[in-house]
Structures are given as C-alpha cells and as structure tokens.
Amino acid sequence: MVNLIKYELKKHFLKRSILIAILIFSVINFIKIHSIYQENSYIAESTSPIWHEVYWKLYDQFSGVITQEKIEELLSIYRPLEQKTADLTASTRTDDPNTYTGNVYSDYYLLTRYYVQPMEYAYMYQFAANDIVGTAQNNMIFYDEIGNKYKYRENQMIAKLFANRSITDLSYTEMYQYYLEYDFSSLLVLLICLYGLVGVFVSEKEADMDTLLLTTVSGGRKTVLAKIIASMLFIFVVCLWFWLLDFVGFSIIFGSLEGAALPIYTLKSFENACINLSMSQYAIVSAVIKTGGMMVLGEIFLLISSASKNAMLPFSANLVVTGIAILHKEIMEGSGYILAKIANPFILVANSELFRQTEFVNFLGIPVQSYVGALGLGILMGIVFLFLLLFTGRKNAIVKGKAGANNEL
C-alpha cells in the first residue's frame, strides 16, 4: 500500500505545474498579508513610523499584568489629553516637543486606540463575563420552573463556559487579531487542491489506464484507497505549508508574537468565544479544523471527478461547488439558521465564524455547540464521501464474483 500511495503522489501531485502554482500562490499570500498590515495597522513601521516608535516605547511601561498603578499611570497621561482635545481647540502643530508624536490629537488617538480601549476592555471583561454567568443562572432557574430542559441545559453550558473568565494582561494583539481571522490562504489552498485533485481519477481515463488497472491484483479498490490517501496527504501538506506560511508571514510582517498565551477572548471580535483557549492554542485548533474541512471538500472534488471522463467538466463543476459553498457561508454569516450554517463544510475551512459566537444546535433535545455540530457533520460527511469513493467506483466483475452469475446457462 505504501508503494501504491507513493506512485499516486508521483502520478498526480509531484508535477511541475502544481509546484509552480504553490510557489506563485505563496508569494501572493505573502503580498496579501503585507497589504493587510499596511491597510489596517496604524502602527505599521513603514506607513506610521512615529506611532510605531511611540507605541513600542510605551509598551514596556503598560504591557503585562494589568495593575492599579498601570491604570492610574495611563490615565494620568490620557486624561489631560482627553481634556485638551475635547473641544477640538488644541494646537494642531505637528512638532510639539511636549507630545509623544509631535501632535496632541495624534497622542490622544494613539493612546485611545492602543492602550486605553484595550485596557478598559480587558479590565471590564470579567465583569461582563460575570454578568453573562449571572443571567444564564437566572435563566436556568426560570427554565427549570417551566420545565424547558433544553433551554436549561443551554444556559447551564453558557454559565459554565463564561465562569471565571478574565483578561489579566495587556498585550499587543494586532497580529493575532488579523492572523486568526485570515481566510485568504484558505481560498488559495482550495484552488490548489481543486487543481491537484481534479485529475486523480480522470487522468486514468484520459490515459486509458482505468481498464488496465482493473485487470491487476491491486488496481481496484486498493488503488482507489491509495488515491484517496495520497490526495489527503497532498491536502495535508498544502494546508500545512500555507498555515505555516500564514504564521510566519504574520509574525514577520507584524513583527511580533506577543499575546500568544492570552485567552482568545482577549480579542474584541472573540468577546463571546465559545471556547476557552489561548490564542496560540486556538491558532493550532483552527488550522487542524481548516485542514479537516479542506479534506471533506477534497473528497467532494474527488467524487465529482471520479464520475467524469475528462478533466474540464469536473474542474468546472468543482469550481461551481466551491463558489456555492463560499456564497452559502457568506449568506449564512451571522444568521440564526445554525444548522444550515454548519451543514456547509466550507465553514470548517473559514472557521472563525464558528468560534466567535456561542451558539447551539438542538441535537435530539441536547444543546450542542455549533462548532461541535459542524465538526460532527464534517466527520460524518467525510466518512460518507469516503465510502462513496471506495464503493461506487468501477470494479472488476470477476473479483466481485458476479460476472454473469445470475444467468449462467
């Protein structure tokens, strides 16, 4: 089997065209990450050198564990600025030596965006979390009284999830903020997989090898299994490459890995996150789920191409399927139709939507978190597609033992 897998890799994936596509897409990915940095970061060294310098100068002073002293120190700088800029009559000169950045307004906005708001959010988060826990507990009492077990369990899970949540540290989070919601590389991986996988079954027909394979001992189901394993390995390697490239790209371009150990809800967009993981843990979990989702989509690509005689038709069909999956995911984003949302395997590929909110699906009267449901459905689809690939393909009639058996004279 190992040899068969090696040959399948050689046949379909170790091609110059695929390697060139990976190389070109890697460069495009890097450029995209850079453009995100340039467009979104106000402390980018290349576009805002002064803010960059001032931010990192103040960072040593205010980062780390949030203490009363740090809060007071920050407010002692911030309050006067707030007052000066409140009526918009402060000096607009840009070379004021009594400011950090040369301008009062600039100092005010820098401190507001990068220190005061994050510190306020971090400080207030545990109170907000406690409020959620309190409300959930009240709901539990209410639903217990009216006998709604499903809602009772749902609130019980919310209370458990948000209990003891707090953000103790102030840290630079800009890199993780964009890195953890970055899905462009997923699209690139999807396109490469689509291109690579479309030929796995079709090329046998195009080379007239499909019939020859069926007449060999290992050319039937074993070869189909080898094709599937080789395809999954290909997807895994392409995913691994791009996920690593994302991490390296964001780390290098944003220039910091700070905040990796902080909880995911440190990011404002993950305020109501449904998991209690650190940002680095979440990055790994997300990458694993993305890879799994890509494998399910890969199986769909393989299924479609296995039913075709030439590469053009399945390539187009797979593109359409990809388009529908992406469109469906976009339409469903933020929607309350949780089941419809998680039934799309693409949600596993662009999965931040699954983790940003705490949502539930009703599974036989038991509340299941939407990401768990999406994972379950993904695994189920993966197994079903795997069986379809293995058992619906053309087989040798003799090996099946049915060649004319019903009507033997």
Partner 1 sequence: MNILFKNISKQYKGKYALKNFSSSLDNGVYGLLGANGAGKTTLINIFVGILKSDMGSIVVDGMDTREMGLDFLSHIGYMPQYPRFYKNFTVYDFLLYISTLKSIPSVLAEKRIKELLDIVNLRDAAHKKIGALSGGMRQRVGIAQAMLNDPDILILDEPTAGLDPQERIRFRNLITKFSGNRVVLLATHIVSDVEFIANQVILLKEGQLIKQDAPEVLMQEIEGKVWLVSANDKILNEKAPHLKISNMYRENQCIQLRVIDDHKPAENAVCVSPNLEDVFLYYNSEGEQW
Residues that bind partner 1 (CB under 8 A): 3-4, 7, 10-11, 15, 203, 206-209, 211-219, 223, 396-399, 401-405, 407-409
Beta carbon nearer to partner 1, 16 or 146: 16
Beta carbon nearer to partner 1, 4 or 90: 4
Cα–Cα distance for residue pair 138/141, rounded to 1 Å: 5
Q: How far is the CB of 409 from partner 1 (least distance, A)?
A: 4
Q: How far is the CB of 218 from partner 1 (least distance, A)?
A: 5
Beta carbon nearer to partner 1, 158 or 226: 226
Q: How far is the CB of 406 from partner 1 (least distance, A)?
A: 9
Q: What is the 3-state secondary structure (H, E, C) of the chain?
A: CHHHHHHHHHHHCCCHHHHHHHHHHHHHHHHHHHHHHHHHCCCCCCCCHHHHHHHHHHHHHHCEECCHHHHHHHHHHHHHHHHHHHCCCCCCCCCCCCCCCCCHHHHHHHHHHHHHHHHHHHHHHHHHHHHHHHHHHHHHHHHHHHCCHHHHHHHHHHHHHHCCCCCCEECCCHHHHHHCCCCHHHHHHHHHHHHHHCHHHHHHHHCCHHHHHHCCCCCCHHHHHHHHHHHHHHHHHHHHHHHHHHHHHHHHHHCCCCCCCCEHHHCHHHCCCCCCCEHHHHHHHHHHHHHHHHHHHHHHHHHHHHCCCCCHHHHHHHHHHHHHHHHHHHHHCCCCCHHHHHCCCHHHHCCHHHHHCCCEEEECCEEEEHHHHHHHHHHHHHHHHHHHHHHHCCCCHHHHCCCCHHHCC
Q: How far is the CB of 342 from partner 1 (least distance, A)?
A: 40
Beta carbon nearer to partner 1, 126 or 396: 396
Beta carbon nearer to partner 1, 364 or 409: 409
Q: How far is the CB of 230 from partner 1 (least distance, A)?
A: 13
Q: How far is the CB of 65 from partner 1 (least distance, A)?
A: 59
Beta carbon nearer to partner 1, 85 or 203: 203
Q: How far is the CB of 203 from partner 1 (least distance, A)?
A: 8
392, two tokens: 């619906």
Cβ–Cβ < 8 Å for 38, 49:
no
Q: How far is the CB of 395 from partner 1 (least distance, A)?
A: 9
Beta carbon nearer to partner 1, 104 or 226: 226
Beta carbon nearer to partner 1, 237 or 398: 398
